[in-house]
Amino acid sequence: MRPLDEELRSALRRQEPPAGFVERVMARLAAQAAPRAGWAQVARAFLGWPRLRWAAVGAVACLVMAIGVVQYQRGQRAQGEMAKAQLKQALHIASSKLNQARKRVQEIDRRSPQS
């Protein structure tokens, strides 16, 4: 046989893989094939933890309450400003009519011969 043939046979001779080789390859394949988790999955996984779930519920409740308080305060302010304007208008009319009555009484007093 020629030396080249001998070299090839030596290089290509059957060899057994080292121990655990198959498992390592399979594990690496599995890791590469796994799809990337979406935000929904991340959130689901996050909320899967009971304490965090309750914390999220509490935060949402606080937000809703805060919005409610702000809306209530806005309503109260609008109502208060309207009441204030009405009060001023009512007092202005009352004051004006009272002064009108006063003026008329004074006119009568002036015209009256006794005064």
Partner 1 sequence: MRISLTRSATLMMFLVLIWGGLPAYGQVARLQLNNLEKLSKKAAEVVDVTLDGPMLKLASKFLNEDEDSEAAEVKELVKGLKGIYVKSFEFDKEGEYSEEDVEAIRAQLKGPGWTRIVGFTSKREHENTEVYMMVPGSGESIEGMAIIDAEPKELTVVNIIGPIDLDKLSALEGHMGVPKLDLEKGKAGQKPASGKPPAKEQE
Candidates 10-18, 27-35, 49-57, 89-97; binding stretch for partner 1 (CB under 8 A):
89-97
Which of 42, 100, 113, 114 is the binder for partner 1 (CB under 8 A)?
A: 100
d(CA 87, CA 80): 10
Candidates 24-32, 36-44, 65-73, 94-102; binding stretch for partner 1 (CB under 8 A):
94-102
One-letter amino acid at 106 equals: Q
CB 53 within 8 A of CB 47: yes
d(CA 85, CA 78): 11
Q: State the helix-helix crossing angle for 50-111 and 39-47, rounded to 10 degrees.
A: 90
Residue 73 in the binding site for partner 1 (CB under 8 A): no
Minimum CB distance to partner 1 smaller for 41 or for 100:
100
Q: Contact residues for partner 1 (CB under 8 A)?
A: 76-77, 79-81, 83-84, 86-106, 108-110
